[in-house]
Amino acid sequence: MIIAVLSGFFFAALLPLLGRFARKSVPLIFSFLPIALFVFFLTSLPLIKGGNTWISYHSWIPSFGIDLSFRLDGLSMLFALMITGIGALVFTYTAYYLKGHPYLDRFYGYLSMFMASMLGVVLSDNLMSMFIFWELTSISSFFLIGFNNEEASSRKSAMTALGITGFGGLVMLAGFVLIGHAADTYSITELLTRPEVLKSHSSYTWIIVLVFVGAFTKSAQFPFHFWLPAAMKAPTPVSTYLHSATMVKAGVFLLARFTPILGDTFWWNTTLITIGAFTMLYAAIHAIFRVDLKSILAYSTISALGILVFLIGIGSEKALLGAALFILAHALYKAALFLITGIIDHQTGSRDVSKLAGLRKVMMPVAVAGFIAALSSAGFPFLIGFLSKEVMYEAGLQFGEWAFLLTAILVLTKILLFVAGFWAGIKPFSGILPNEFQKVTLPSALLWVPPLLLGTLSLLFGVFPSIIEQALIQPVVSSMTGKESPIYLALWHGFNLVLLLSVITLLLGFFLYVFLKPSEKLFSKTLRFENISPENIIETIGSYFSIFAIKWTKFFQNGYLRNYVITILAFLTILTAYRLFGGVNIYIDWKQISVITPSEIIVVVLMIISIFFAILSTSRTASIVALGVVGFANCLFFLFYSAPDLAMTQFSIDTLTVLLFMLVLVKLPKNKTFSSKRIRIRDAVLSLLFGTLIAILTLEVFEEPSSSEVSKYFADNAYLLAKGRNVVNVILVDFRGFDTMVETVVLVIAAVGVFSLMKLDLNPSKKE
């Protein structure tokens, strides 16, 4: 199974090498991969029969509990089949749709990367690897949405999508970490065996909130829904693939996956039902105010996702069955509608539903596909959409005291979706063909066969539900409920309330379709509410955030190194000072302190004077001389306190530095004061504080007993091991010989640098 998941990545990696060749000669070759994967999953169907699972385990980072383990059960099988099946159709479709596009191979690379990540998401058994694949889908979809990278709007919507879904993914990661913390495992299989651990855990509420944010952003639930209509800037195959069948359903998948683990609690059900119900109605209303075919489809997709979330929220067996059926039904008809929209756009150059009409005369097969898809979307009998709708209504009606309200919302949504589906699938083909479209022709079969195939499947599953009943849907439901639950799909349930509702839906939907005509006027009415739409609010927040970021950066990253130093040191000083005030006793152990002799006093006074002189003098020469005195005073200290080697080194080095300074800088002008008095006072205060802090810290360390084991080792063994009497020298050339060697190298580098800088002469004219 690992090969199945990762093959998409390998394929994408191969494309830069082979792409150029394949793009020109045989673009269809790209479809081979999804078809092969589809067949692979199809043949694995018997493995999951009756709620069985197939787990394949590969260790990855065992120390963090992260594995590449994959789990194939009903739910992941359903998604894997959709991903690869619709993937195969989209791959084929693209071969013609983007024929001759200069970046076709790149497009396929992104597409197969996306497909592989999507498979990873639905098959992962480990929450961490699921998160990684989840973010990979966001990233690869970013490239796909922004594929027309020359258009600013395309880039913007790609950014929006990445921002929203990426943000959601990170929130979800936090939820996963909490889960891992609470249950002590990241494995879904293990979580499934003991769901009560998480439900009774104290951070349960946090976990579901975080997981919800992840699922809602990905599945475009209110208030994160707006990235999806914006993402319609992508080429139509992308919209088909990402926004009907796969990526947006990842959120639904997540919720379905966690239903047996986290579900069936008050907060879980209430939140999902509320958000789902609101989203489905809100988006359905939006859908019928649009005139752009793709916008209609985008909003009806959001609405459909709302229905799914709603059904998972209800959480009864019926509702989950409805969700499983609807996932499949929606993928089949929505992908078909998107593909058809793509064909219409490709052939006529228009997606305006108020203008398109009568196209059946020129592209009959497409019209048939559109007809079936629209009927399935509306839920006509003998189509899979009908089955899902029936089960849905039944689930709604069974939901206790709120049943009436919830079913009413569901029916209303369904009526509106009926209209939206008809507009997309039937309206462009019915009526009289306008003159401007007379010359439109039927495109290559590569374009119209995929939607027709999807339509056929809708019909096939609708007439003979037994094909999928036991083999696919039953395992899906049992993987969501966590137990064996026999299901029964039928076309005819007898005369009951559900049937009545179905009839009402169809009738009202049809009336609405007949009387309501899509037009720009309706669309412009909705613009009035733009100011309070979540999209606007989030964009405003986003722009304020970037202004804030710019100011923040300008303040802290202002390019003046000394300001960085000031910030860091001021922070350090204040922090340490705070700590020192809070309970560190400063004491001086006078027994440790050695007595002061007059000669030492003289050196100390000399040093203090010369420090101030070096700082305050306006003459360069004087500063340098003062610096020299500081160095020599230092040298005397070394001499007083038994460090003859240090004294010697310091003496020679100090002399050299002063000489070098004098020789090089004597020609420079006098010291100038660049900064204002205020800044100098500020720096002086900070420096004094810093100096005090260092002094106090030194005192603190000094009062602690020193451990001299290392020194003792060196001193004891200097002669015995290294045959040297001067311990300092022995340390440098023997015990730490390598250090000294490297140090010498550093000096050599410095010397080379000095020499080359002195000799460097790039621009002779500027020389004196």
Partner 1 sequence: MEILLIIIIGLLHAGGLYMLLRRSMFKMIIGLILLGNGANLLIFLMGRLVKGHPPVIEDGLKVFTEIYADPLPQALVLTAIVIGFGLQSFAIILIKRVHRVLETDDLDELNSTDEEI
Q: How far is CA 239 from CA 149, 305, 312, in A?
A: 16, 15, 25
How far is Cα of residue 387 from the mean position of the Cα atoms in its chain?
36
Least separation in angstroms between residue 677's CB and partner 1 is: 13
Specify the residue, 35 or 646, whose C-beta has the smaller distance to partner 1. 646
Specify the residue, 232 or 727, whose C-beta has the smaller distance to partner 1. 727
Specify the residue, 201 or 620, whose C-beta has the smaller distance to partner 1. 620
Question: Of 13, 588, 602, 741, which one interacts with partner 1 (CB under 8 A)?
Answer: 588
Residues 664-723 within binding reach of partner 1 (CB under 8 A): 664-665, 668-669, 671-672, 674-675, 683-684, 686-688, 690-692, 694-695, 698-699, 701-702, 706, 708, 710-711, 714-716, 718-720
Beta bridge partners of 187: 126
Least separation in angstroms between residue 598's CB and partner 1 is: 12
Q: Which of 455, 388, 445, 479 is nearest to 54 (CA)?
A: 479
Record the tokens describing residue 43, joined without a space: 């043949």
In contact, 129 and 67? CB cutoff 8 Å: yes
Cis check: omega of the bond before 102, within 30 degrees of 0: no
Question: Of 435, 581, 592, 598, which one interacts with partner 1 (CB under 8 A)?
Answer: 592
Least separation in angstroms between residue 577's CB and partner 1 is: 14
Specify the residue, 520 or 739, whose C-beta has the smaller distance to partner 1. 739
DSSP 3-state of 265: coil
Record the tokens describing residue 68, joined without a space: 């590449």
Residues 53-82 within binding reach of partner 1 (CB under 8 A): none
Q: Is 432 in the site for partner 1 (CB under 8 A)?
A: no
Specify the residue, 103 or 638, whose C-beta has the smaller distance to partner 1. 638
Specify the residue, 29 or 643, whose C-beta has the smaller distance to partner 1. 643
Q: How far apart are CA 122 and CA 81, in angstroms?
A: 11
Q: Which stretch binds partner 1 (CB under 8 A): 33-41, 133-141, 287-295, 586-594?
A: 586-594
Residues 251-290 within binding reach of partner 1 (CB under 8 A): none
Q: How far apart are CA 49 and CA 72, in angstroms?
A: 11
In contact, 335 and 237? CB cutoff 8 Å: no
Least separation in angstroms between residue 568's CB and partner 1 is: 11
Task: Please name the amino acid found at residue 154.
Answer: S
Specify the residue, 430 or 687, whose C-beta has the smaller distance to partner 1. 687
Question: Of 528, 591, 677, 725, which one interacts with partner 1 (CB under 8 A)?
Answer: 725
Least separation in angstroms between residue 82's CB and partner 1 is: 54
Q: How many residues does the chain have?
A: 768
Crossing angle of helices 247-262 and 127-145, rounded to 10°? 160
Least separation in angstroms between residue 574's CB and partner 1 is: 15
Burial class (CB in 10 A: 0-12, 13-18, 19+), 663: exposed
Specify the residue, 532 or 561, whose C-beta has the smaller distance to partner 1. 561
Record the tokens describing residue 163, joined without a space: 């921002």
Q: How far apart are CA 595 and CA 628, in angstroms?
A: 27
Burial class (CB in 10 A: 0-12, 13-18, 19+), 62: exposed
Beta bridge partners of 332: none
Q: Which of 328, 541, 341 is nearest to 421 (CA)?
A: 341
Specify the residue, 153 or 708, whose C-beta has the smaller distance to partner 1. 708
Specify the residue, 532 or 701, whose C-beta has the smaller distance to partner 1. 701
Record the tokens describing residue 358, joined without a space: 């009568």
Least separation in angstroms between residue 696's CB and partner 1 is: 8
Specify the residue, 152 or 586, whose C-beta has the smaller distance to partner 1. 586
Q: Which stretch binds partner 1 (CB under 8 A): 127-135, 233-241, 252-260, 589-597?
A: 589-597
Q: How far apart are CA 187 and CA 64, in angstroms?
A: 12
**Which x/- pattern over 514-553 shows residues binding partner 1 (rule: CB under 8 A)?**
----------------------------------------
Question: Of 569, 577, 580, 622, which one interacts with partner 1 (CB under 8 A)?
Answer: 569
Specify the residue, 26 or 685, whose C-beta has the smaller distance to partner 1. 685
Q: What are all long-range contacts of 566-570, with beta carbons under 8 Å and residues at least 24 apart?
A: 566/683, 566/686, 569/686, 569/690, 570/686
Least separation in angstroms between residue 552's CB and partner 1 is: 21
Residues 546-565 within binding reach of partner 1 (CB under 8 A): 559-560, 562, 565
Specify the residue, 500 or 721, whose C-beta has the smaller distance to partner 1. 721
Residues 739-768 within binding reach of partner 1 (CB under 8 A): 739-740, 743, 746-747, 749-751, 753-754, 757-758, 760, 762-763, 766-768
Non-local (6+) Cβ contacts of 77 within 8 A are: 41, 44, 45, 48, 472, 475, 476
Q: Which of 355, 373, 374 is nearest to 432 (CA)?
A: 355
Task: Please name the amino acid found at residue 476.
Answer: V
Residues 151-180 within binding reach of partner 1 (CB under 8 A): none
Residues 602-661 within binding reach of partner 1 (CB under 8 A): 604, 607-608, 611-612, 614-615, 620, 623, 627, 630-631, 634, 637-638, 640-646, 649-650, 653, 656-657, 660-661
Question: Of 595, 598, 738, 764, which one interacts with partner 1 (CB under 8 A)?
Answer: 595
Q: How far apart are CA 534 and CA 555, in angstroms?
A: 31
Record the tokens describing residue 684, joined without a space: 């002086």
Least separation in angstroms between residue 546's CB and partner 1 is: 25
Least separation in angstroms between residue 697's CB and partner 1 is: 9
Specify the residue, 128 or 647, whose C-beta has the smaller distance to partner 1. 647
Q: Which region holds residue 732: left if phi is over 0, alpha if psi is between -120 and 50, else beta?
A: alpha
Least separation in angstroms between residue 347's CB and partner 1 is: 53
* Beta-strand runs (E) in 565-612: none
Least separation in angstroms between residue 737's CB and partner 1 is: 12
Q: Which stretch binds partner 1 (CB under 8 A): 13-21, 77-85, 126-134, 588-596?
A: 588-596
Non-local (6+) Cβ contacts of 421 within 8 A are: 300, 333, 337, 373, 374, 377, 378
Specify the residue, 36 or 659, whose C-beta has the smaller distance to partner 1. 659
Q: Which of 417, 247, 229, 217 is nearest to 333 (CA)?
A: 417
In contact, 78 and 324? CB cutoff 8 Å: yes
Specify the residue, 524 or 563, whose C-beta has the smaller distance to partner 1. 563
Binding residues for partner 1, rule CB under 8 A, total 99
Least separation in angstroms between residue 661's CB and partner 1 is: 6
Least separation in angstroms between residue 578's CB and partner 1 is: 19
Least separation in angstroms between residue 616's CB and partner 1 is: 10
Say which DSSP state 60 is in: E
Q: Which residue has 């709708």 as its token pair?
A: 389
Specify the residue, 504 or 685, whose C-beta has the smaller distance to partner 1. 685
Least separation in angstroms between residue 309's CB and partner 1 is: 54
Q: Which stretch binds partner 1 (CB under 8 A): 28-36, 130-138, 426-434, 736-744?
A: 736-744
Task: Please name the amino acid found at residue 248.
Answer: V
Task: Please name the amino acid found at residue 124.
Answer: S
Q: Which residue has 């499983």 as its token pair?
A: 324
Specify the residue, 495 or 674, whose C-beta has the smaller distance to partner 1. 674
Q: How far apart are CA 718 and CA 721, in angstroms?
A: 6
Task: Please name the amino acid found at residue 423.
Answer: W
Least separation in angstroms between residue 764's CB and partner 1 is: 12
In contact, 157 and 205? CB cutoff 8 Å: no
Least separation in angstroms between residue 629's CB and partner 1 is: 11
